[in-house]
A and B are shown apart, each in its own frame.
Chain A
């Protein structure tokens, strides 16, 4: 359940998940780096003649928050709710880091859409329940501060739900509140280029660092196809867990 701008929202499965990047022992960032990504789309009978592209979308991302190392199931202990002091990935604080909180609202995916990006910094959020790979989180925030409207005022005024639209929607203010369940769905492992079997290396790395189960789907990415300087760089293996193959 998401409350934001007065729309009825549905969580977009697959795109909404906990994600972690793992470095190998020789890489620049050997410590796990955690992400939480959530995507929502407006639903309800009023949208039944609109494709996905014509509907409002809302994105939430929390990056680089701390989770007790050693086991992915330690996600159950994450609690950054109303914590007055928290560390930041920008400083050397010993305090646990609640992550960097960002949100983006798109009135649609079309060229004339309204877009609002908000950077809030510290996030007020916690895990309230964990059932196997499914993690229920609670989050509150406000998009008033630090937001940036991308697009012309005309676009914003005519977007569905805007104050100047034909039938103004009760936007419900700028507050964001959500209580949603998302899976621990993706591990991206950094693998040395000379690994004999990059897929096996990635699975072993994930198992050792986080005790992950066998992946449902694996994808090998080699950035040297796009960047010449990456020819001596690492490979990346995406391990999709608990049912999502990625798009």
Chain B
């Protein structure tokens, strides 16, 4: 269930759930050990529109970096984000491949233009938003979200914020409000060298790091094998020297 108010207009309620996912780094990585993200799609349909299944408006809401570090995944239900300047300072970090993690909330929209019949696409960003999670039922967390979005073109200043701009908080009501359920659904964990059974290692590490011990589908991607298969090179892995791998997992 997702109740959404977009630019002060309440959209029809949908059955969509928000998705929470996490990424855990290998112990020898210098990047932050955990990275959590949130996404929610909201589709509004209009029977009068004959194309694209009657799509009137689609919202793709995403927070790529929630800034959590949790000892238990159930503690998502205790988290409240108020994206002040201090929160941005605490949350910003460099990812394992050298990119600054974005701390903004983004919304991509596709809207039916009744004049031309075409889809209009827009991007919105908010660096001030509030998100509250509540204790879960199973893997579902009640979620409330408010954001003060501006057009992406106006959002990127190309220069550092100055003086009062750094701590400024937008006035007036938010132009995005969401009440929904968010499911902790999937994740990814990087396993270091020398683990013959990455899935077993992943299960162990997930139990230790976020107390997750029930799993749906899990799969492995070996790093070096992928590169070699791309180049049609075959080199047997020396005995006892197993490569790094990524394990993808889903919750039940």
Contacts from A to B (Cβ < 8 Å): 10-15, 39, 41-52, 54-55, 110, 132-134, 160, 166-167, 181-183, 197, 199-200, 213-220, 242-245, 247
Contacts and interface: CB of A to CB of B under 8 A. Distances in A.
B52 interface: no
Interface in B69-106: 85-86, 88-89, 92-100, 103-104
Interface of B: 26, 28-31, 85-86, 88-89, 92-100, 103-104, 127, 155-163, 166-167, 190, 192-193, 223-224, 227-228, 231, 233, 235, 237-238, 241-244
B28 A48 contact: no
Contacts of B97: 13-14, 244-245, 247
Nearest to B190: A243
B205 to A, nearest CB: 15
A234 to B, nearest CB: 17
B222 to A, nearest CB: 10
A216 B224 contact: yes
Given A13-B98, A41-B100, A214-B241, A49 B30 contact: no
Contacts of B156: 49-51, 54
Contact of A41 (B29, B94, B104, B241): B94
B28 A199 contact: no
B92 A49 contact: no
Nearest to B161: A46
Given A45-B86, A199-B233, A50 B243 contact: no
**Max chain A C-beta neighbours (<10 A), residue from B86, B89, B98, B99:** B98
Of A46, A50, A166, chain B has the most CB atoms within 10 Å of the CB of A46
A11 B100 contact: no
Contacts of A15: 98
A46 B243 contact: no
A244 B166 contact: no
Nearest to A182: B30
B159 A48 contact: no
Contacts of B127: 48-49
27 contacts: A13-B29, A13-B31, A13-B96, A13-B97, A14-B98, A41-B94, A42-B160, A45-B85, A45-B161, A45-B166, A48-B127, A49-B104, A51-B156, A52-B99, A110-B158, A133-B28, A134-B28, A167-B162, A199-B235, A200-B235, A214-B241, A217-B244, A220-B233, A242-B28, A243-B28, A243-B190, A244-B97
Contacts of A45: 85-86, 88-89, 92, 161, 166-167
A181 B30 CA distance: 8
Nearest to A56: B160
Given A51-B156, A181-B30, A217 B223 contact: yes
Given A45-B166, A214-B193, A216-B223, 19 more contacts: A10-B92, A14-B96, A45-B85, A45-B86, A47-B160, A48-B161, A49-B127, A49-B156, A55-B100, A199-B233, A213-B241, A214-B237, A214-B238, A217-B244, A218-B224, A242-B28, A243-B28, A243-B192, A244-B96
A13 B98 CA distance: 5
Contacts, number: 126
Nearest to B150: A49
Question: Top 4 A-B pairs ranked by shortest CB distance?
Answer: A45-B85, A214-B241, A46-B160, A14-B98
Contacts of B192: 243
Given A49-B156, A181-B30, A39 B88 contact: no
A224 B157 CA distance: 43
A54 B158 CA distance: 6
Given A13-B96, A44-B89, A45-B86, A215 B30 contact: no
Given A11-B30, A13-B31, A242-B28, A52 B100 contact: yes
A120 to B, nearest CB: 25
A12 B241 contact: no
Contact of A218 (B88, B93, B190, B228): B228
Contacts of A199: 228, 233, 235
A50 B193 contact: no
B66 to A, nearest CB: 15
A234 B55 CA distance: 58
B92 to A, nearest CB: 5
